[in-house]
Structure 1
Amino acid sequence: MKRRTGFVAGMLGMAMLLTGCDFSVYSLPLPGGAKIKGPSYTVTVEFADVLDLVPKSSVKVDDVTVGTVEKVWLDGYVAKVRIRLPKSLDLPDNARATIRQTSLLGEKFVSLAPPTGLEKPRGRLENGEVIPLSRTTSNVEVEEVLSALSLLLNGGGVAQLQIITQELNKALTGNEPAIRSVLDQLNIFVGTLDKNKQQIVTAIKAVDQLAKKLNAQKATLATAIDSLPKSIATLDKQRAALVKTLQALATLGNTATRVITSSQKDLVANLNSLYPILTKLAEAGADLPKSLELLLTYPFPTNAGIAAKGDFVNLGITLDVNTQKALKGILGLNLPTVGPTALPTNRLSIPLHNPTTNGLPSLPVPTGTATTCTTILGLPVCTPKLNRSGFDPELAKVLMPGVAQ
């Protein structure tokens, strides 16, 4: 009993001694980690979950142990791990950190690696830097896999597969045509969407552009919406006046209806009376605008101002004379035609103004060497002897038979 009491007292004294000193299990020399010789530096790594990572765990690069974990603590909802690395280790500033296991049931360690993919390594990892939560991950734990498998097998979907299959059989039995029709319609619908894919994309882009324009006019729309209550309040104040206006419009409409109804016959009669006038105006056609053009220059045509150059008129007259018709109209003679054609028509041009002289215009006289007189139906007719520049000799034989040519 004395020995046993002394042993217990010694153990209590040892415990009290250990409790009074600043001592923990982590301060004992434990296996794991790398013994760093020479200069070193520390880096803090943030993790969402450190699992069962403990101090003195290894820090590896390419599965080679290069450092050790010094401290693990919780800062809010983020777990932070301080690791020590040798100064000779060259890692980029954007290095990534992952918590891995040496084997299925092995210990945890921190794995450091440069970035992969499109991100390029940059800079150099220095003392006191922090690898943020965005560049750290942790592998799936065996416990998590076994827990998920247990949930699936015991209370998950595997136990419900039989019930789901039975219910589907009950729902589908006897409804095959309807289900087939639904599937056909769904196939047509999906096919139509696929055919109109470009139009749908165009519509979505148009909606996107509309949204951008609305976003650009957001201030204007906000101003309009803010001023809308004031406008509604103003309309509410003017509601009585608006009601009176609408009532007056209704009264005016009724009055106009009565007037039109009572004057319908007179209106139809007036339209029937206007019909002949409008018809004649339509028949006048282009003559009416031409007469209106002459109205401003009456009695002269519209081009009279162009012809009158001052104290003379710059015009020319072409006179067509048909001898046979003239003699028939004046003397009543019906002269026969010579040869297969009728009597020739002599054209006489008389200029009304000669720019080289200031006198009156002169008429051209047919050239001839003598004048011969004869009597036709009791009337004396004197004609000059004509050459080829005057009347035709055949005509002279008909008009003056017996006269020397």
Structure 2
Amino acid sequence: MFADASPLVAGNDVKTSGVKVGEVSSLSVHNGQAHVVMDLDPATLPLHRDAKATVRPVSLLGERFVDLDRGSASAPILEQPAVIAAENTDSSVDLDEVLNALDAPTAHSLAALLTTLGEGVRGQGAKVDAAIAELGPAMTQTGRLARMLDRQNAVLTGLVDRVEPVSEALASDRGRDLDRLVGSTESMLKAAADNRRALDESLAQLPGTLRKAERTLGRLAGVADAATPALASIRPVTNNLRDISTELQRMADATDPALASLQPVLEHAESLIDEAAPLVETLGSAGRDLRGVAASARPVAERLMDNLRNVLNFVRYWALATNGYDGLSHYFRANIVVNPESVTGLVPRPQDAGREAADSKRTPSRPPAVGEDASNVTGLTRDQEQSLVGQLLGGL
């Protein structure tokens, strides 16, 4: 189906890629469109839904043929009878149609141009042919350039879109903004030219500055290497900082009431310190004497601690004895080592036996026996108590 199939006639060729594959068998009109029936070689089939047909001229004499494109293999196949829709058909523009579209002055000018061109190339066919042959590579490169520009069309369009606001901004206010920009640039360049000497001196000092910066960076790298293990060891703590801060907040919340009630305690403690100041001063003056007493008492305390078990047993058994009990019976049981050196005064010495006998003749009284001294709660005399304590303490 063609919108316009003139001047196509029955018997015209049907070609695909320049090869004849059939011919036009008939033409008719249906619903305002040209219905062209083509007989095709079976090898040309099948046709696909995106198949196209174009009426093209064979030469300037007006003969036509149908250029058939069978469509892409990925498109669905046209069902029989195969019909190519009008939107997939077209016809080329003839030269006479172009000439008929020109007005009289333009047509006369075009005729003069063609006449002059014919006279210019008359007898120069070989040169024109050579020129066309030389233009072939250039036209090929031009075609490649056109295809490349076509692929970059989106990029070029975006570039134009971005440049357009800048151009409009510079062109606004009749170009005064651009003038101001140029003036500012000129002032900046002039200032740079005036300060060229200072700039040169700065550039001359730049290598030294860079060397110092390099040394500083080297030291910094050493510090970084040394700090890396420390930071790695701190890392576990930093991971728990949130939990630590939460615990600290809880502790602060718990200690706030105590700290709030601490002020009266501190005031009372201050008064106690003021009251204790005279005592501390007195103890300070007596500190030297106390140190001497403590140094002297230390050996006694050490010996007492070494024999503490015996001392405590003595106190226990003596308390039981003074109450008439020893935990088992009503008798006081004691083991006494008869040794004049250690139990002085508790048992008479042999050399004193005669003297005590003589004394007993002169006076009817006798020394009190063990447990008979009623003036002491233990029933012993003072010498007997000291001797017994000395034995218990190891002869001190």
Larger fraction in helix: 2
For the criterion TM > 0.5, the same-fold answer is: no
TM-score under structure 1 length normalisation:
0.30
TM-score under structure 2 length normalisation:
0.30
- Kindly name which structure, 1 or 2, has the bigger radius of gyration based on alpha carbons: 2
